[in-house]
Amino acid sequence: MRRVPTLPCSHRYLRSRRHVQRATILADFCRSETGASLVEFAIVAPLLALLLLGVIDFGRYMQIADVVTNAARAGVQYGAQTIGTASDTVGMQNAALSDAQGLAGMTAQASYWCTPSCAVPPVGRRIVYVQVTTTGTFQSLFHYPGLPTSVRVSDNAIMQVAQ
């Protein structure tokens, strides 16, 4: 760039000097990495927050699935104690529901069966089984596109009755 000699007070001198100062500031800004990590964090922070919310909801789902599984297990453990408790389906359901006290809207269904059939007199050793099916509902904290907001969580436990 060719410099035109001018007096320090002239308009042309001031205009060219401002132009050089702006170009110098812009060049310094382009070469400097000050604030680059802040910009990178601002870009990545929403993705990290979304990932954190997904991890929290997944953990809640696993906790509810664990409660449902343990409740089914508690119900069959009650029913498998004796032949008398095997036919107490209401007691098995109550044992399952009381094991999952913190889970609202949980249901439990209990049943028992024998091999050979319980209706005919046994010709040998009769094997009795109890079964409890528990169902709960998981409600996600946030709506994720493409995923349902509520998911049914169910488990089934079967155990042979002690004789």
Over residues 81-129, the pLDDT tens digits come to 998 899 999 999 999 999 998 788 899 999 999 887 777 676 677 889 9
Is the peptide bond between 8 and the residue preceding it cis, with omega within 30 degrees of 0? no
Selected residue with higher pLDDT from 144 and 20: 144
Q: Domain-by-domain residue ranges, the chain?
A: 50-160
| CA dist list (Å): 8 to 3, 4, 15, 23, 136 | 13, 12, 11, 20, 83
Kindly tell me if the per-residue pLDDT of 39 is higher than 90. Answer: no
Q: Does 5 score more than 70 pLDDT?
A: no
